[in-house]
Amino acid sequence: MATSPAVGAASVSDFPLARALGDNWWLLLVRGIVAILFGLLAFAWPGLTFLTLVLFWGAFTAVDGVVAMIAAFSGRGSRVAPRWWLVLGGLAGIAVGAIALVWPMVAANVLLILIAFWAIVIGVAQVLGGIALRKEIHGEWWLVLSGLLCILFGAAILAQPLVGAFAIIWLIGFYAILFGLCLVMLAFRVKRLKRI
């Protein structure tokens, strides 16, 4: 196995979080691919109307939230790993997505604030999840990096909320692609921990 456990001679089966991520590596891959596709869409159609952006963002965060919840509650075995950070991120994504899809005009008025807070909540959850994962396997930093990107993205939006819509679309696209790439890299890294 290419990834060695954090504790001496212990096997991966002694680390429930690493085992759960390994068993569900494809969910991380799906989240990453959806984020990359959303980012590419933002670059491909930079002239999107703000309302269209709200609807696309709502769909993206809702799908990401649902996949995070599936990852949190799926898995085998009687010993359940602590996955509250996935639940927190999933609930935030579903809530923001629902607001954007059900009340797009309301969401359009507060879209940047919603995006910023969603990114910060997701980022904090992923940094904490990455720290928990680092206790189980060596050299695992992709989840922490994706969380830090989320936090920086949210902070950048809060710091400059009056930036033009065109710049925001490009910023969102760039963030989504980087976030997605981190999750794809993490997916292939934890795939090695999958139980046969």
| Per-residue confidence (pLDDT) for residue 133, from 0 to 100 | 76
> What are the pLDDT tens digits along the chain (196 aa)?
444 444 444 554 556 666 777 777 888 888 889 889 988 887 887 666 667 777 878 888 888 888 888 877 875 544 545 677 778 888 988 998 888 888 887 776 677 787 788 889 888 988 888 887 777 766 567 788 888 998 998 888 888 766 655 677 777 788 889 989 988 988 888 887 766 5
- Confirm whether 1 is domain-assigned: no
Residue (of 20, 104, 90, 88) closest to 56 by Cα position: 104
Residue 4 lies in a domain: no
- The pLDDT value given to residue 161: 67
**The predicted structure's pLDDT at residue 2:** 44
| Number of independent structural domains in the chain | 1
- Position 164 scores a pLDDT of 55
- Asked if residue 5 is part of any domain, the answer here is no
Q: Which domain holds residue 18?
A: 12-191
* Amino acid 74: pLDDT: 76
Answer whether residue 24 is part of any domain.
Answer: yes
Q: Does the residue 196 lie in any domain?
A: no
Residue 99 in domain: yes
CA end-to-end distance (rounded Å), the chain: 13
DSSP string, 78-145: SS----HHHHHHHHHHHHHHHHHHHSHHHHHHHHHHHHHHHHHHHHHHHHHHHHHHHTTBTT--HHHH
**Residue 6 included in any domain:** no
- Number of residues in the chain: 196
pLDDT of amino acid 70? 84
Q: Is residue 51 part of a domain?
A: yes
